[in-house]
Chain A
Amino acid sequence: MAPIARLLLLALLSTALTISSGSGDGYTINGRVKIPQGLGTKGFALPGKTSNVKVILNGGQIVTYLRPDGYFLFQNIPAGTHLIEVAAIGYFFSPVRVDVSARNPGKVQAALTENRRGLSELVLEPLRDEQYYEIREPFSIMSVVKSPMGLMVGFMLVVVFLMPKLVENMDPEEMRRAQEEMRNQGVPSLASLLPGGGRN
């Protein structure tokens, strides 16, 4: 039943549309873009001014701009469900679904499509500001230590300062035996690799 009713309504709508388009005028969508002060100014200079904000209807069918007070206007719009997008560098705006009803002219219903929040009046505010750049982290010891070269240095320090300690803690007898063994096997030690190390 419902689809039939809707079809009927649609038929009504389309007739209403033809009549209104015959008289030359469609409907008007009047709205406002509000960019809160202070948002987006942190970190880097705000790249987009209000003069560069575009308001786009139905994916590029009509493109309009903001007046100094932030208001915009779409004129001669047929009844139906439309989509309004705001393109502003530095801000993320949700597209807005706008229903223009032919039955009670002037009544405009709007809802954000991103979070399905209804709007009582067509005032568009950014959901968040957009940071296009990574923030450079300040210099810290940890980042140097974590870098490959830091790890290399760290490993060397461990070898240089901790290995002798380990060697010291060993039983002198055992150590001597191990050294003997090594010498017999002819395994090159670190000392023998170094220049002048071969003489002992």
Chain B
Amino acid sequence: MAIRSFLILFILFFFSSLNPILSLYEDQVGLVDWHQQYLGKVKQAVFHTHKTGRKRVVVSTEENVVALLDLRQGEIFWRHVLGSNDVIDGIDIALGKYVITLSSGGSILRAWNLPDGQMVWESSLRGPKHSKSLLLVPTNLKIEKDNIVIIFSNGRLNAVSCIDGEVLWEKDFEGESLEVQQVIQPPGSNLIYVVGFASSSLFEMYQINALNGELLKHESAAFSGGFLGEVSPVFSETVVALDSTGLILLTVSFQNGISFQQTPISNLVKDSFGPAKIIPSSVTGIFAIKMNAVTIVIRVTDENKLEVVEKTNHETSISDALPVSEGQQAFALVQRAGPEIHLRVKLAHNWDDNLLKESVKMDQHRGLVHKIYINNYIRTDKSYGFRALIVMEDHSLLLLQQGEIVWSREDGLASIIDVTTSELPVERDGVSVAKVEHNLFEWLKGHMLKLKGTLMLASPQDIAAIQSMRLKNSEKSKMTRDHNGFRKLLIVLTRAGKLFALHTGDGHIVWSYLLQSLQKSKVCQHPIGLNLYKWQVPHHHAMDENPSVLVIGKCGPSSDAPGALSFVDTYTGKELSSLSLVHSVAQVIPLPYTDSTEQRLHLLIDADKHAHLYPKTPEAISIFERELSNIYWYSVEDDNGIIKGHALRGKCTGEVADEVCFDTRELWSIVFPSESEKIIATVTRKLNEVVHTQAKVIADQEVMYKYISRNLLFVATVALKGSGEIGSVTPEESWLVAYLIDTVTGRILHRVTHHGSQGPVHAVFSENWVVYHYFNLKAHRYEMSVIEIYDQSRADNKDVWKLVLGKHNLTSPISLYSRPDVITKSQSYFFTHSVKTIAVTSTTKGITSKQLLIGTIGDQVLALDKRFLDPRRTVNPTQAEKEEGIIPLTDSLPIIPQSYVTHALRVEGLRGIITVPAKLESTTLVFAHGVDLFFTQLAPSRTYDSLTDDFNYALLLITIVALVAAISLTWTLSERKELQENWR
């Protein structure tokens, strides 16, 4: 065994020294990798459908994406992912050729060229105070042939030129407590109305000349009842508001002086449901209110009378108004009822007739309809047709036309919270013979084509055929487990509370499931998905069970919000069961124990520091009680700068007897001085990481022993001043301290201070080393440091005689309570780019050398050999060290373009990188997610244990045939010669 592993190591080393970088040929793109582009949940959509030309739609999303989509297929023409704190407030189309976006709390206004997405101009808007941000693009308001854009943001009204983004005029609304609610521009006039509330009981109206910003009229009126929430404009000079109790509707008209008209909601509907909320709409004369789960659509008549036109228990979405013909507006209402959604399009002034009424079958797992945008087209018979873009509860985007779903986009996948993997089912039925024969013929033909390709004999058609053949390899998207472990299911949990299973072969969605426990309900208003864990991984004695995952969520953002669990079968994609917890979930600890059905034991720690064991079976409890004294964990309180270690004490006392509840005790705590150190990063090793060997043979036949412990924690702290952005602090007043802490005893094993450095810190911990990335203010460059930790207590075991005489300490028990005798080695290097995330490759047995996967600020993933981050690098390595593979020391880490695993692609909005070992030791599966998804296979030391896809079987066959022919030929020749000899 040892020899074999040595051999593998040798081969590995041989190969890796042969070619240190992994690289890809351009024609290999898409062979093992896939890339998917998403947008996120659509916030706003604006159609761009001229009579001629392509039908397009501009959307802005909650992932800060602005994109132009093809309305026919839903493909992306162009897309920009704005910075993470550049939240989009509004979009619109101006002049028919620019997309205008208002973002960053109304302070950045940009115009993008509609056909190609090139930014045309950008302007920055400031204002005296924080306020609502509103964007208005009037179609026929011109100042000297220049269309203008009206923006209200930060307490200032701006008029900006459409052509170059110049601010034409501005007007401040500095009133102390003035809260501007709406900016209304009556079509066809040069007036702008700004309406809002001041000191909670004053209604204020400003009338402004849109051409020069001159204040024409300012009126205010007090309403003793006060105001609540938003207002909805119903006519150009009338808005609807709610009084502070939420029980009385106010129709406020400001045409000639401000007049209020009160209508108690109880007069409109018989049974009152408590305080209401206005759902603003831009439809003339129509608005909606919501009370609990009841939606009421109300029409305002010309005399400002209110009438209820619809009252429904279904969640209803109303679209914006769409001008259809002279002075007429259409709008759409959409509701979900069972397996269908009902879409109605009506004219604003005529509630009773429907322009369109359709029912569309909709997958149950898309949930409710959250938003709807409509657009019209003229049918061949000159009547109006409508298409509707709808956003569902699972964040997907669909286009409906003529009662059918034209296309759909799974944009929920742009906001992944957590990822885990699951194996596919084992292949049971044998393949039929006919299929094999067919395959054999195809296979041979394919390899002949490939051979032609290598010999440069292939025609362009052949090359195209080869490429499509490689990409369409049906093997890789099969729904069964493969021998090499390349085919798996990626189980992802999205922010919408939906689980998706993606196939690693080509990224298609195998199943999706909208978790009811993570949907808004009466008991839980703001559910949040937290984590995914492998609940059951059938292995030895539970092969008939399907694997399942555990989804943990909680109800609301507070720390003591009750948790929710759900268990989902990963083969079928069905929920097995779900639990609403009475306690909160502060921390989840997957334990290294499983019960007889291979269900993994999980410990959930609540906010009151009680531990709850799942599954709640007697068997699990008995396993757990046996291991009670071996369970330790830690908690980090970032705000107070405290790290605490905990252990279990025994069954819960006092409260209601709960078999699975355990009391905990605090073992140790480390308090960082709050005035000088602030915790900014904590990292531990991955729980499932495999380490092949503790020993590391170095150049001169010496052995070093890695200090391998699952209980090591890396903590980085910075000076309080240095916790801000780069440029906000000088090198003298900022420092960064890195700690290695044992989480069982709370002992600090290593501490190092980097003076003149600051965060953000991104770190990764693996085996016995930690690599972290931070900013060096003195050099004004990013730096990466490595710390390796070695066990000294075993260092004197290399004497053979000691081993023979049994005087070694290899069999002495390892306990973290014994004082560890460790040494650390570290080194720092410059690194060019900002980093978003760092991960490390992982393989089944941990033999293959490691690569760091660095997600750069440019949304690319760079693979960097761990050998570049080896503290034993020196400027002039000796011959022996060179043979060991030590690279001469350089001050910065190399960036080799060929080692970008994402090659020429970007994973826009990159958030996380996950690595999963394949069954084949040389290969690891990498999944990077952000707004985009990217998956590939990596072989950090090349595929030393299997033939690559490029291996030419045809050439091998031809060689064998040629050899056999040569042998028979020489044999006959020698026969003949021998015969001649004998005759002589």
Contact = CB atoms under 8 A, between A and B. Distances in A.
> Do the two chains belong together in a single complex?
yes
Interface of A: 3, 6, 10, 24-25, 44, 47, 49-51, 54, 56, 58-68, 73, 75-76, 78, 80-83, 85, 87-90, 92, 94-95, 97, 113-114, 130-134, 136, 138-139, 149, 152-153, 156, 160, 191, 194, 200
Interface in B97-131: 110, 113, 116-122, 124, 126, 128
Contact of B24 (A60, A90, A133): A133
B760 A66 contact: no
A60 B83 contact: yes
Interface string B957-984: 0010011001000110010001000000
Contact of B780 (A60, A78, A97, A156): A97
Nearest to B900: A132
B53 interface: no
Contacts of A114: 832, 892
B959 A153 contact: yes
B455 interface: yes
B41 to A, nearest CB: 21
Contact of A90 (B113, B128, B781, B904): B904
A25 B780 contact: no
A62 B124 CA distance: 12
B906 interface: yes
B760 A59 contact: yes
Contacts, number: 153
Contacts of A133: 23-26, 29, 898, 903-904
Contact of A113 (B110, B113, B779, B966): B779
B116 A87 contact: no
B857 A59 contact: yes
B25 A92 contact: no
A83 B833 CA distance: 11
Given A25-B126, A149-B956, A68 B120 contact: yes
A157 to B, nearest CB: 8
Which 7 pairs across A and B sit closest by C-beta, in order of nearness? A87-B858, A63-B83, A130-B897, A59-B834, A80-B727, A75-B124, A133-B26
B730 A87 contact: no
B27 interface: yes
Given A24-B126, A194-B971, A132 B904 contact: yes
B815 interface: no
Given A61-B725, A194-B971, A67 B120 contact: yes
Nearest to A54: B858
Contacts of B959: 149, 152-153
Contacts of B25: 133-134, 136
Nearest to A133: B26
A58 B727 contact: yes
B325 interface: no
Nearest to A94: B832
A50 B120 CA distance: 12
A8 to B, nearest CB: 13
Contact of A65 (B80, B781, B857, B966): B80
B727 A60 contact: no
Given A51-B117, A67-B119, A92-B895, A83 B727 contact: yes
A68 B78 CA distance: 16
B728 interface: yes
A95 B725 contact: no
21 contacts: A3-B732, A6-B732, A24-B128, A51-B78, A51-B116, A58-B726, A59-B760, A59-B775, A62-B86, A67-B120, A83-B726, A85-B857, A87-B857, A88-B858, A89-B906, A90-B904, A95-B834, A113-B780, A133-B898, A136-B27, A191-B978
Contacts of B892: 114
B728 A191 contact: no
Contacts of A67: 119-122
Given A47-B904, A78-B728, A132-B898, A73 B122 contact: yes
A85 B833 CA distance: 8
A160 B966 contact: yes
B955 interface: yes
Contacts of A24: 126, 128
A67 B966 CA distance: 68
B948 to A, nearest CB: 13
A172 B26 CA distance: 60
B780 A51 contact: no
Nearest to A24: B126
Contacts of A83: 726-727, 775, 780, 834
A76 B856 CA distance: 26
Contacts of B582: none
Nearest to B971: A194
A94 B781 CA distance: 10
B84 interface: yes
B23 A134 contact: yes
Given A50-B118, A60-B834, A87-B858, A160 B970 contact: yes
A85 B834 CA distance: 8
Interface string B820-847: 0000000000001110100000000000
Nearest to B956: A149
B859 interface: yes
B805 interface: no
A2 to B, nearest CB: 11
A134 B24 contact: yes
B454 interface: yes
A86 B860 CA distance: 13
Contact of B86 (A63, A80, A81, A131): A63
Given A85-B834, A191-B974, A132 B966 contact: no
Interface centre among B116, B730, B895, B962 (most CB of A within 10 A): B730
B955 A149 contact: yes
Contact of B118 (A51, A85, A92): A51
Contacts of A10: 730
Interface in B848-901: 856-860, 892, 895, 897-898, 900
Given A76-B126, A113-B832, 12 more contacts: A3-B732, A44-B26, A47-B904, A49-B118, A62-B83, A68-B113, A81-B777, A87-B859, A88-B858, A132-B903, A133-B25, A153-B963
A59 B834 CA distance: 5
B82 interface: yes
B963 to A, nearest CB: 6
A82 B727 contact: yes
A65 B103 CA distance: 14
A67 B118 CA distance: 7
A58 B775 CA distance: 10
B2 interface: no
B116 to A, nearest CB: 6
Nearest to A9: B730
Given A63-B86, A65-B80, A133-B898, A139 B455 contact: yes
B3 interface: no
Nearest to B117: A51
Interface in B119-175: 119-122, 124, 126, 128
A97 B777 CA distance: 10
Nearest to B455: A139
B576 interface: no
Contacts of B657: none
A80 B116 contact: no
A149 B860 CA distance: 38
B456 interface: yes
A139 to B, nearest CB: 4
Which has the most chain A C-beta neighbours within 10 Å: B117, B779, B781?
A: B781
A10 B733 CA distance: 11
Given A44-B26, A92-B895, A156-B966, A59 B726 contact: yes
Given A60-B83, A113-B779, A134 B898 contact: yes
Given A67-B121, A132-B900, A60 B857 contact: yes
B103 to A, nearest CB: 10
A139 B454 CA distance: 7
A92 B898 contact: no
Contact of B728 (A3, A80, A113): A80
A16 to B, nearest CB: 14
